[in-house]
């Protein structure tokens, strides 16, 4: 079945540590997105990529980094500069900007 796979489902980070969240899609979608979800705040866009080797900052990019070396993959690194990283992170993809985005099942990041 086509879809988006996020791993791991749960992730723990120590203070000062960088962690990388994986997102893989086999939908052949050009566009991919990373969102952060906090209770009562809906979803906020971190980074997006419209095509391989290109990505842009979203609304809350500070403390995060991404890469898009392959069409299928869009990993997100939460750096030590992100002071409040505890959240639910969702990856999404779409065929084009007019089509609905398909979401993965998310990664829940917590601080030890």
Locate the DSSP E strands across the chain: 4-7, 10-13, 19-25, 31-37, 43-51, 54-57, 64-66, 76-78, 87-94, 102-103, 107-111
By CB under 8 A, what part of segment 67-106 binds other proteins?
Answer: 88, 90, 92, 94, 96-98, 100-106
Interatomic CA distance for residues 109 and 112, integer angstroms: 10
Interatomic CA distance for residues 32 and 45, integer angstroms: 11
Least Cβ distance, residue 26 to other proteins (angstroms): 15
In the complex with other proteins, the residue whose CB is nearer, 33 or 74, is 33
According to the binding rule CB under 8 A, does residue 27 interact with other proteins? no
Positions touching other proteins (CB under 8 A) are 4, 6, 9, 31, 33, 40-43, 45, 48, 50, 56, 58, 88, 90, 92, 94, 96-98, 100-106, 108
């Amino acid at each position: 079945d086509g879809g988006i796979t996020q791993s791991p489902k749960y992730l723990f980070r120590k203070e000062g540590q960088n962690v990388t969240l994986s997102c893989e899609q086999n939908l052949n979608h050009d566009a991919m997105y990373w969102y952060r979800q906090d209770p009562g705040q809906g979803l906020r866009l971190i980074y997006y990529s419209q095509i391989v080797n290109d990505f842009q900052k979203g609304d809350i990019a500070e403390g995060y980094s991404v890469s898009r070396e392959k069409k299928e993959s869009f990993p997100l690194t939460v750096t030590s500069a992100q002071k409040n990283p505890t959240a639910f992170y969702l990856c999404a993809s779409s065929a084009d900007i007019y089509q609905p985005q398909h979401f993965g099942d998310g990664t829940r990041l917590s601080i030890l």
